[in-house]
Amino acid sequence: MATSGTFTYSPDLGELTLYAFNLAGVRPTALTQAHMESARMAANMVNARWSAMGVNLWAVDLQAIPLIPGNNTYSVPANTIAILDAYVTNAGSQDRIIMPVSRTEYASYPNKTQQGAVTTYWFDRLLAPTITFYLTPDGTYPSASYYRVRQIQDARLPGGIAPEVPFYFLEAYALALAQRLAMIWMPGNAAGLKTLADEAYEIAANQNTEQAAFYVTPMITPYFRA
């Protein structure tokens, strides 16, 4: 059986926009500048929605922070959606995981400037977000690192730029874009497209997971004490 032998299909946002308008019931010959401006906005609204809906594995990266003794709060890039895992590293390049705490738990600490080996962190999700460590770094661990989910890169129509989504999310992206465009230009088609868009997203999201075992071990030792 003859096949293409290639894996390079990556439509740009312009191609996906034309397809999305077709799905919405708007033909290419009817498109105007106003249609394309609404498509640019709709594509970025899809990005915003997907950034809020869960962990997009393709948008996870590793950030590092040099820890300054006596300084417990550091800036986090503004495009950070969530922090997944964090650890500190000592001078011997040995890592140790640290755990997140809530604002309330951090507020309960009586001496927030106490220095020592870092054990926890509080991620303050401001417009200019910060991460605050406890204990306050004392130099034992010179650096901290964290895996974060960042926002999806901007959708741009000029220049043949593809949206930042993997191949297995393309259908979901096209349908989500079509649904938003239908809300503006063909409202009668929006409800049906939403159903299809939600189904396509669920299928893709089920694949967007790490294939790793998860173990839960109950602490039952007290039940067997003599």
Q: What are the DSSP calls for 27-88, one per residue?
A: -GGG--HHHHHHHHHHHHHHHHHHHHHS--GGGEEEEEEEPPTT--EEE--TTEEEEEEEEE
Among residues 97, 73, 74, 102, which one has the least CA distance to residue 85?
A: 97
The HSE-up count of residue 179 (CA atoms within 13 Å, CB side) is 19
What's the whole-model pTM score? 0.88
Who contacts 18 (Cβ-Cβ below 8 Å, separation ≥6)? 28, 31
Could you report the per-residue pLDDT of 86-135, keeping only the tens digit for each? 999 999 999 999 999 999 999 999 999 999 999 999 999 999 999 999 99
Q: Is the per-residue pLDDT at 223 higher than 80?
A: no
User: What is the CA 27 to chain-centroid distance, rounded?
Assistant: 33
Mean pLDDT of 21-27: 98
Looking at the chain, how many residues does it have? 226
